[in-house]
Structure 1
């Protein structure tokens, strides 16, 4: 595990499992608590540059979620949506006596952050390229209408088996589109983006624990296109719309300020994502697509915006920041802008503990 200057790691026992946590050397114990939650097929390593750059009055930490990085490998109960991860996060913050905190979530970690905020107080919420509040795939319209009762086409069955095999083999090559390095370059960041720490980001991806209990999870047959539905185990199944829905944020009695920051070239979370199998079907990549009425594309960004606008209508506050020529990782692609927006957001909240 390669750490950048000023970043330290330690394992923290909690009531649920032992979690690996990155911290910043020299942070004061009474600093403003800021927690950075990574996304799928990644780990805390991706947050290191952000940790280095955030103001010194913050106490910054970035945990590895279960089954990622150096945290304990434990089964993920997908029937609970993302609650296993959110409960682990709560256990960690309780162990460190850091609750409540400013919680920042990226991609799947944005879903973890939203789930956490539904069940525990937070000082503020920052969502970077988050999963839709209605899950990943299998819904239509800004209201997040479920397409089938079994959420066909979502979950563990949609993972590329070659990509999973290359994670297991710790493949660091770029000789195929399915290698982790190629996937990072083509989907995590915008075209042409370069980083001197690219090897660390790939190392982070390769820390993903694979199998039916972790990534990608299991699947079951379905009579609906494309022939499979999510199982009850593993990471990808946690975001099936039948088990994950955080749109109830709009009804929170105490509404934390929300920052939503995302890129206009995001290949993963968009209104026409090629990670949505209905999009692949419409494009002819997957055969047998039943058409727009039965299998429309999920308007992920529109769903996020609709929920946040309702959040504001119900008395909350949110700020949207859309970055041009930016992919799925604003904190990597435009680090100075990301830190500035996050710092301003935390300042607007007016909360330090």
Structure 2
């Protein structure tokens, strides 16, 4: 199977941090415009961006994060939150001589690009967040406060062991609900969505490197329900509120305009997502739930909106766009509409050309 669609080129970039795989597309016209840099989410890779890359009228660069796709497999220090990833992205952009780019992040990648804005704002001309993780990290109440001091119910201990095993084994079947293909169909896209590239999307998922240092990471015991909390290594722990807080974007001095795109049928990032242990407890899937006051389902969308409202109140600007027929992957489910929105967002942030 060919993993690259016609028009997409792959190269490798050596930086002081890692050897990164990069996909690029330069359209026949518009090649001099500021590029869009695309950062994928968890259990995926840059391959997922290809339809959008081909639809955009300006150069695009999609980077594989460490431990995904064809980039070098390096451990993730969860105590740094998204910084191992965002520092890698910055090093690739520096090596390519790219600055002032239009940066877009999907899901976990949304957290990566928010961290990039915090640490290297000069790299970000505009920001696009697609179904981003909540800026407060996982394991928090609506106001962003931790539900328990150790963020119980988050991190590597919450991963489905059979799904992890099937990722490691390269399972391409749809025989069980925990197979990557079944998870893609049930959670990455809205019910009924199908395209001719499903095998490619599954291949992208299977590029995820598994283990304590990567996906899902480790877990530790907790005295709080459901009995485990975030460890200090690996991807799921890096997204836990024990280690992650991106709400500082409200206070950045230079505030690029933010475009926030989400699908109405997102099964992963939502205000009562079944990827959240508190939601599983509330609905009886995990026994012993201590109740709404102690373990409320995380209001992921509401939390993102609250932070972006504060960002706007502090002098920034954002737009929220909901794809009514999409799930977790609007860029895949409707790449033409996504490209139109992203291009308009980017063009508005580009310097005015003076004749």
TM bin, normalised by shorter chain, reads over 0.9
Q: Which residue matches 1:53? A: 55
Gaps of 5+ in 1: none
Q: 2:134 aligned to 132, 135, 152, which one?
A: 132
SS in 2 for 1:31: coil
SS in 2 for 1:32: coil
Question: Where do residues 42-81 of structure 1 align in structure 2 (5 Å cutoff)?
Answer: 42-55=44-57, 58-81=58-81
Superimposed CA distance per residue, residues 8-43 of structure 1 (whole angstroms, 9 cap, x where no aligned partner): 101110110110000115678743121000000000
Offset at residue 52 of structure 1 (A): 0.6
Offset at residue 186 of structure 1 (A): 0.2
Matched-pair contact (CA < 8 Å) for 2:151–2:240: yes
Matched, 1:324 2:331: no
Question: Where do residues 143-222 of structure 1 align in structure 2 (5 Å cutoff)?
Answer: 143-222=143-222
Matched-pair contact (CA < 8 Å) for 2:67–2:74: yes
Offset at residue 337 of structure 1 (A): 1.0
C-alpha separation in 1, matches of 2:281 and 2:79: 27
Matched-pair contact (CA < 8 Å) for 1:33–1:352: no
- TM-score between the two structures when normalised by the length of structure 1: 0.97
Offset at residue 152 of structure 1 (A): 0.5
C-alpha separation in 2, matches of 1:268 and 1:352: 38
Q: Which residue matches 1:250? A: 250
Q: Which residue matches 2:6? A: 5
C-alpha separation in 1, matches of 2:351 and 2:6: 29
SS in 2 for 1:103: strand
SS in 2 for 1:175: coil
Superimposed CA distance per residue, residues 160-216 of structure 1 (whole angstroms, 9 cap, x where no aligned partner): 000000001100000100000000000000000001100000000000000000000
C-alpha separation in 2, matches of 1:253 and 1:9: 35
Matched-pair contact (CA < 8 Å) for 1:8–1:25: no
Q: Which residue matches 1:22? A: 23
Question: Where do residues 277-288 of structure 1 align in structure 2 (5 Å cutoff)?
Answer: 277-288=277-288
Q: Which residue matches 1:226? A: 226
Matched-pair contact (CA < 8 Å) for 2:35–2:59: yes
- TM-score between the two structures when normalised by the length of structure 2: 0.96
SS in 1 for 2:35: strand
Matched-pair contact (CA < 8 Å) for 2:265–2:325: yes
Q: Residues 189 and 351 of structure 1: is their aligned pair in 2 closer, same or farther, counting only changes over 3 Å?
A: farther
Matched-pair contact (CA < 8 Å) for 2:34–2:350: no
Matched-pair contact (CA < 8 Å) for 2:27–2:59: no
Matched-pair contact (CA < 8 Å) for 2:230–2:242: no
C-alpha separation in 1, matches of 2:209 and 2:17: 18
Superimposed CA distance per residue, residues 210-230 of structure 1 (whole angstroms, 9 cap, x where no aligned partner): 000000000110001000111
Q: Which residue matches 2:94? A: 94
SS in 2 for 1:50: helix
Matched-pair contact (CA < 8 Å) for 1:123–1:351: no
C-alpha separation in 1, matches of 2:317 and 2:260: 11
Q: Which residue matches 2:299? A: 299
Which is further off, 320-329 or 64-73?
Answer: 320-329
Gaps of 5+ in 2: none
